[in-house]
Structure 1
């Protein structure tokens, strides 16, 4: 029976970084993967495929360059699913090779199979041909989540599907209903609409992406409608069914009945409301670890479960469930488990959020609504992309960057960006906030020209001038 210092369950971002950190500390490490490929949802069904799809769509449709070359600009007239999937597959294969190479270079033993605890320090790994029993001193559970599939919805993975099946479609549908206005739902709604699909998005709240700053959220609503997306906000789906005939004609389509009495019809329906944990098959009862009704694990600030030698990180512990935060959680869990590395401060208020919709959206820090509710005096400085030369070169005149500036100290309280390069641009503001910088930093330092980073200087001027601090 093999014994390890640490066994990691799951090869997604939390598992990868946790396993590598343990190996860097000189520990004997094994990592277990139940599927046939490495990388978890990040590489295979979530982050990478959806972003690869987005980039392929923006390029092939010419949508990203129309502000520069005109509204009729298009790289390819007839775009097929094969065109889109080939881009995703290329990136995914590269990531698989990269992860495997990292494991090999760090002498991490990769075990293929399903993991199940037999006891506090014992684990069964059920592979395709045999079952192996291993033991370890420490465990990191990083099994991630899967899309929620309520039993009352007749999923068939072709016309009624989740995000996991979207790239498996055999053709680009003419119409789609998207249920859920969270990150996954809005990203795919924008991608499909850019492809020319007639999209209707249903969201129970009055705003999609409810965590956004209200002004950014309102702007995003406008952009979505400009792309032809019909927004059904404040609406809830009562039932979903597949219909074979309509008005006496043989035609297969999906019908969604809303609680308000409306009926929505489309060729396909994407259900994107929440994700579900996958802890139920891990035998956690044999260790004394409990999970909630969505199979998520509760951990303390050090990512320990109620059993001190079993840690958990990534989507399996819930919010914020981002690939970026999962990586850091996995690393910090292992650092605590072995007590051999200094991880420094961990300011959860400075997590950057990125939404890879069309256009991109990113934010860090507080929203205007949060600052108002907390009674913090602030001023907003705005830079519109139409003022920025680099944005003109990129063909984006509609984007904007907002700085939220403390009225007295001029500290940066929040940064919100919508438009080209938003998810990259946000890190400048994040760094300044982490170093307790103020708006004067942007005015007193030089930025390359032309760049989108110039937005920070323009927004700082705008905000400070509103405070009657006259800058040229």
Structure 2
């Protein structure tokens, strides 16, 4: 997405049906839409058959369906590999799993109880913030300090253009876990700051329990998404309902006002459900 913003026509090939499959599908769709609106292409469910330089100026990438993509440069992204080389883990009897990661317990201990592992070497989510917190918990346990519970709701931030961020349950996961839910949305075109900063394409999506109105998840696309998600993270941790976003005042003009708009959308739907029962 950065190359696209710099004016480069990008073709993104993906063997998956959508990018960033761990995110709510609505965020993935926003990313693809933004990429294509900028003149680039996203080709899902594709596999590369061969890649060859034509000897002059182009790289020819042949796909499994016979299509040939011509480009000046090719960037191949195959994910992260745990950096365990040279650590001598075999000498203490440690081995990696099928994905090349070390298995650890809830305290970060490996199969050798005096050896702890955190971060990329233990696999998903392999985020900087998560890794630092894993290290804090592991250090406390190793030093005999009172253990603290790790957060079950870890925010995810993807620094693409547009920014993507999420915390808590996706819409699909919430339906599977809770059954009846309500989804509220706010478009940044409805927020004064979104208009002022030309960030109208953004969206904030709240996933809420239909009975208690407790916030279960938040999913954001657009400028400042990775900053805004912290509000939802604290609300989920405190067990708040969306009423908190309506009854408390946000600075004006800020993108945070989108929480109130999305919460009002939830309450509108909730009241609509109650009205037929009352009648």
TM range (shorter): over 0.9
User: Are 1:389 and 2:200 matched, yes or no?
Assistant: no
Q: 1:384: Cα distance to partner? A: 0.7
User: Are 1:229 and 2:40 matched, yes or no?
Assistant: yes
Q: 1:304: Cα distance to partner? A: 0.7
Q: 1:227: Cα distance to partner? A: 1.2
Which of residues 154, 178, 196 in structure 1 aligns to 2:7? 196
Q: For the residues of structure 2 that align with 1:373 and 1:271, how far apart are their CA atoms?
A: 35
Q: 1:152-301, aligned counterparts within 5 Å?
A: 190-244=1-55, 251-301=56-106
Q: 1:14-53, aligned counterparts within 5 Å?
A: none
Map of 2:260 onto structure 1: 457
Map of 1:26 onto structure 2: none
Equivalent pair of 1:401/1:455 in contact (CA under 8 Å):
yes
Q: 1:243: Cα distance to partner? A: 2.4
Q: 1:253: Cα distance to partner? A: 2.4
Equivalent pair of 1:278/1:295 in contact (CA under 8 Å):
no
What is the SS of the residue equivalent to 2:138? Answer: helix
Map of 1:424 onto structure 2: 227
Q: 1:347: Cα distance to partner? A: 2.6
User: Cα RMSD over matched residues?
Assistant: 1.5
Number of positions where the alignment pairs a residue of Structure 1 with one of Structure 2 = 273
Q: 1:242: Cα distance to partner? A: 2.3
Q: 1:291-370, aligned counterparts within 5 Å?
A: 291-340=96-145, 342=146, 344-348=148-152, 350-370=153-173
Unaligned runs of 5+ in 2: 274-279
- More strand per residue: 1 or 2? 1
- Bigger-Rg structure (1/2): 1
Unaligned runs of 5+ in 1: 1-189, 245-250
User: Are 1:402 and 2:205 matched, yes or no?
Assistant: yes
Given the two structures, how large is their TM-score scaled by the length of structure 1? 0.56
Map of 2:174 onto structure 1: 371
Q: 1:107-118, aligned counterparts within 5 Å?
A: none
